[in-house]
Structure 1
Amino acid sequence: SDASISIEEIARKAKELGYSYIAICDHSQSAKYARGVEVERLKHKWQEIKQLNTKISGITILSGTEVDILADGTLDYPDEILAQMDIVVAAIHSGFKQRVTERLIAAMQNPYVNIIAHPTGRLISKREGYEVDLDAVLRVAAQTGTALEINAYYDRLDLSDVNARRAADMGIKLAINTDAHLLEHFRMMRLGVGVARRAWLEPKDVLNTWPLEKIRQFCQQKWQKLK
């Protein structure tokens, strides 16, 4: 949403790097600081993705969002919009001292939320993490079948290796995401992989080591469980 690169450029770069799929997860409409995407613009992006999937061979582009978890625990798009996406990432980007644990739990209880991004909210050397009961978050992630992110961006690395290991021990799946806003940010993936290795994660623990159809099944299982 706040990048100067096109979806086609992103997809072609991902293909060049050997990816077989990539999710486009723009910030949602309330994220004005990041040119968050309102519903009508989102629908145009879906059409663009559909066209690009017929144009570019060898890679599948998934429609997604990084939807804001608002101060009252609701999500920044209604369920009828979230239901049309291939994958939904939810995150807190404001109100860092406002009922963070309850908001994260509410988001995970939504059947369309597949991944919680940067779950502790830390920014290395800039900001401590949220005031969050991580034990409670992990329990609900396990109960609901919600994956947690290892954000690979160099000043996040969130979850940490220790917390990623805790999550995996509880049967929670992880997703290593670059948080890329520029093509050069793809290189952050190696930092996220480093976190996963230090956590002794295996391919079975990490969503984006799986074939695409298995990820689709993972998302569908949560919807069937909670709907």
Structure 2
Amino acid sequence: MSAVSPPWLLALHSSSEVLGLGLAPLEPAPGTSSRISSHPLGRRLSNDLLACVEQLLPAPQWRQLGRLAVATGPGGFTGTRVTVVFARTVAQQLGLPLDGFSSFLLMAHRLRQRAEVGDQPFWLLQELPRRGIVAGCYAVDEWALGGIAEREAPRLYAQLADLPAGVRLEARVDPEADVDQLLRLSGLAAAAGAAAPWASVLPLYPTSPVGQPLGQA
């Protein structure tokens, strides 16, 4: 990438088989714009993550980063962990703030932005074969970052009948669109001066007892 002007915001999303990456200026500057890319890596994520990031921003230019953002899941155990650990490591080594947002929250913002949901609270659901259903509840809230609040964090339910009543939608990752939301929310957090310590950003796994919040590890 040529003519890189700091500071930049780097976003990473690997809650599906497709790695999504985004790079955007933290402050408006002439000739700068955001870039988003997607990479269908699947199980190659561990080997190819660094190369994909360097396609967007070469390692010698990482010191021009001003903030990082990462999707924390729910997602695949290995994929989510690899990207969160990578983001935490870079943030720690460079002394950068790191925002973590659940992949379901990013979907909720995308659905609202596209007018695919109304003002009523809604549930996002993902079925895990032989394990249950991961679900989280979201609602319009003018006081929440970006205008959407996570009323119920994603958790594991034994069956659909265990969920409270309400609008229910399938949770589907849209890698590039959800990375765009990740950039947007992290940018809003930065503009608001929100603290974002890297140590508090942990991946979400649907491994806790049924009916309990997802574990963080």
Please confirm whether the aligned pair reaches a TM-score higher than 0.5, indicating the same fold: no
Greater percentage in helix: 1
From the two aligned structures, give the one with the greater strand fraction.
2
Answer 1 or 2: higher relative contact order, Cα 8 Å, separation at least 6: 2
TM-score by length of 2: 0.37
